[in-house]
């Protein structure tokens, strides 16, 4: 096999269309306008720096070093973008960090380290507004909240409940868009001071004109302080309940169980009114009367036949607390279970957008990285939906890896002709501009 060298051709020609699409939505100009002024001697503006960072993931990279190791020749001499070094990128990203804060709790002696970066969260919402105006939706806005574990051996990372070092960021997601991130160290579980995190999130969303109609969360949100914060900010909520003696005793009074089938197994479902957190209200000296809420309860027969101590039946119980009185029992469970898609979003963030490879050594710097990566993920969600309308073979639900194979990996070269830059594509890319 004979090899003949030729002039450099970029293997990622499709990246140029992505850059152009971002500029058409004023993403680059928004970055330059919203972020602090750079020194006059700087060779790059914020658009160059952040676009370089996002290019790593749009070209299949997974760490900052890919910018020099694998993408330098791709971005070099590109008339749409000036390439920068990984060191320059990391240095500039550090400038957005905010010192982490330490909190204590009324019970226990643990110190909880939180990294709160309102400025970048606000930037995320402003950029989202350029591509997807959440606040103008006709249908109800559903906010899913959850915490995820990012395992890392960074110098300040603390032990998580999984017996490994890492961080535990709290994330708010509307549909498939990340709208809020608050990083916390690994020793702070999801329920710790969650009401304060939610208060900051709701406040920021309101500031940007986003009214949350519905809130969904797992059992980490099943506590009095969190519930009080939620009902102040949303119309309806659906939260997985934690089973306790009082709830079991109430379930034992249910008589009208409805027989259903779950994955081929016989099960029963019913709903009941119950006022939770009486002991917590007494401990916190909460003066207002507690409301009754609807609990949708599902029970499935245990294979081992072990009896429940409180009900005397051999069933496994689960319950969802809600203030929705209109949906049927099955509809409540189905709607709550849809929050399972948040795990797919975490999977995409960790495997497609770098959350699995944190570049910095401390919590507050890595928070900046998490936020800019999440913004990239949000923009990709918009781009794949738009490009799928123009390019045959692309679908709106594609993960970024398939998008790279089918679109980004198109050989191309910039050619200057008659004082104009033209992109020469080596292939049949049927892109409707």
Residue 4 counted as domain residue = no
pLDDT in tens, 98-126: 999 999 887 777 889 999 999 999 999 99
Query: Same domain, yes or no, for 67 and 149?
Result: no
**Is it the case that residue 432 has pLDDT exceeding 60?**
no
Residue 382 counted as domain residue = no
Domain end position, chosen among 294, 325, 351: 351
- Residue-level pLDDT at 279: 76
Higher pLDDT, 229 or 312: 229
Query: Same domain, yes or no, for 277 and 396?
Result: no
Q: Are 116 and 98 in contact (CB under 8 A)?
A: yes
Q: Residue 416 belongs to what domain range?
A: 15-95+390-425
**Is it the case that residue 303 has pLDDT exceeding 70?**
yes
Query: Same domain, yes or no, for 262 and 410?
Result: no
**Is it the case that residue 4 has pLDDT exceeding 70?**
no
Residue 106 counted as domain residue = yes
**Is it the case that residue 412 has pLDDT exceeding 90?**
no
Q: How far apart are the first and last CA of the chain?
A: 39
When mean pLDDT is compared over 71-80, 121-130, 307-316, 405-414, the highest value belongs to 121-130
Residue 371 counted as domain residue = no
Query: Same domain, yes or no, for 89 and 108?
Result: no
Which range is least confidently modeled, 210-219, 297-306, 354-363? 297-306
Query: Same domain, yes or no, for 280 and 394?
Result: no
Mean pLDDT of 388-399: 91
Can you give the CATH number for the domain in which 152 is found?
A: 3.90.350.10
| Number of domain units in the chain | 2
Residue 202 counted as domain residue = yes
Residue 416 counted as domain residue = yes
**Is it the case that residue 22 has pLDDT exceeding 90?**
yes
- Residue-level pLDDT at 9: 82
Query: Same domain, yes or no, for 111 and 74?
Result: no
Secondary-structure breakdown of the chain: helix, strand, coil percentages, each rounded to the nearest 5: 35, 20, 40
**Is it the case that residue 205 has pLDDT exceeding 70?**
yes
Query: Same domain, yes or no, for 202 and 330?
Result: yes
Mean pLDDT of 334-350: 94
Which residues sit opposite 214 in a β-bridge?
A: 142, 236
Residues 252 and 246: their CA atoms lie apart, in Å, by 10
Query: In this prediction, what percent of the chain has a pLDDT beyond 70?
Result: 96
- Residue-level pLDDT at 136: 67
**Is it the case that residue 433 has pLDDT exceeding 70?**
no
pLDDT in tens, 162-193: 999 999 999 999 999 999 999 999 999 999 99
Domain end position, chosen among 351, 373, 403: 351
Q: Give φ, ψ of 203 to 5 degrees.
A: -65, -45
Query: Same domain, yes or no, for 89 and 105?
Result: no
Query: Same domain, yes or no, for 181 and 90?
Result: no
Query: Same domain, yes or no, for 90 and 131?
Result: no
**210: closest CA among 133, 275, 277?**
133
Q: Position of tokens 């969802």?
A: 320
- Residue-level pLDDT at 108: 72
Residue 345 counted as domain residue = yes
Q: Are 97 and 367 in contact (CB under 8 A)?
A: yes
Residues sharing a CB contact under 8 Å with residue 399, sequence separation 6 or more, in sequence order: 348, 352
Residue 258 counted as domain residue = yes
pLDDT in tens, 39-66: 888 888 999 999 999 999 999 998 899 8
Query: Same domain, yes or no, for 241 and 118?
Result: yes
Mean pLDDT of 14-18: 92
Task: Give residue 417's pLDDT band: very low, low, confident or very high (50, 70, 90).
Answer: confident
Mean pLDDT of 325-339: 94
Give the pair of three-digit tokens for residue 278. 């009486």
Domain end position, chosen among 304, 333, 351: 351
Pairing assessment for the beta strands 315-322 and 412-417 based on DSSP bridges: unpaired
**Is it the case that residue 430 has pLDDT exceeding 70?**
no
Query: Same domain, yes or no, for 142 and 254?
Result: yes
pLDDT in tens, 187-197: 999 999 999 99
pLDDT in tens, 221-268: 999 999 999 999 999 999 999 998 889 989 989 989 999 988 888 899
């Amino acid at each position: 096999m004979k090899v003949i060298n030729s002039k450099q051709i970029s293997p990622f020609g499709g990246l140029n269309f992505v850059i152009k699409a971002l500029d058409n939505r004023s993403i680059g100009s928004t970055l330059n306008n919203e972020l602090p002024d750079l020194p006059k001697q700087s060779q790059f503006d914020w658009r160059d720096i952040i676009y370089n960072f996002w290019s790593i993931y749009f070209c299949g990279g997974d760490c900052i070093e890919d910018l020099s190791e694998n993408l330098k020749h791709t971005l070099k001499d590109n008339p749409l973008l000036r390439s920068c070094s990984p060191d320059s990128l990391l240095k500039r990203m550090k400038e957005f960090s905010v010192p982490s804060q330490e909190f204590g709790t009324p019970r226990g002696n643990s110190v909880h380290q939180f990294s709160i970066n309102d400025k970048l969260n606000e930037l995320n919402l402003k950029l989202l507004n350029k591509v997807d105006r959440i606040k103008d939706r006709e249908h109800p806005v559903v906010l899913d909240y959850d915490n995820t574990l990012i395992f890392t051996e960074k110098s300040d990372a603390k032990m998580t409940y999984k017996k490994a070092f890492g961080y535990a960021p709290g994330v708010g997601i509307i549909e498939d868009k990340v709208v809020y991130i608050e990083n916390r160290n690994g020793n702070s579980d999801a329920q710790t001071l969650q009401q304060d995190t939610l208060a900051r999130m709701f406040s920021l969303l309101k500031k940007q004109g986003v009214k949350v109609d519905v809130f969904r969360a797992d059992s980490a949100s099943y506590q009095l302080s969190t519930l009080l914060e939620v009902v102040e900010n949303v119309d309806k909520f659906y939260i997985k309940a934690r089973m306790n003696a009082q709830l079991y005793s109430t379930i034992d009074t249910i008589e009208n169980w409805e027989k259903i089938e779950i994955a081929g197994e016989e099960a029963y479902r019913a709903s009941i009114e119950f006022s939770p957190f009486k002991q917590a209200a007494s401990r916190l000296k909460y003066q207002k009367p507690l409301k009754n809420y609807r609990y949708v309860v599902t029970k499935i027969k245990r294979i081992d036949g072990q009896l429940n101590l409180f009900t005397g039946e051999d069933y496994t119980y689960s319950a969802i607390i809600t203030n929705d009185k209109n949906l049927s029992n099955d509809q409540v469970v189905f709607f709550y279970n849809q929050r399972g898609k948040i795990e797919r979003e975490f999977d995409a963030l960790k495997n497609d957008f770098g959350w699995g490879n944190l570049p910095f050594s401390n919590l507050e710097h890595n928070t900046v990285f998490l936020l800019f990566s999440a913004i990239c993920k949000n923009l990709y969600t918009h781009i794949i939906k738009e490009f799928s309308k123009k390019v045959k073979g692309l679908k709106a639900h594609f993960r970024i890896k398939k998008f790279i194979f089918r679109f980004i990996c198109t050989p191309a070269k910039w050619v200057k002709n008659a004082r104009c830059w033209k992109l020469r594509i080596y292939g049949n890319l049927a892109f409707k501009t």
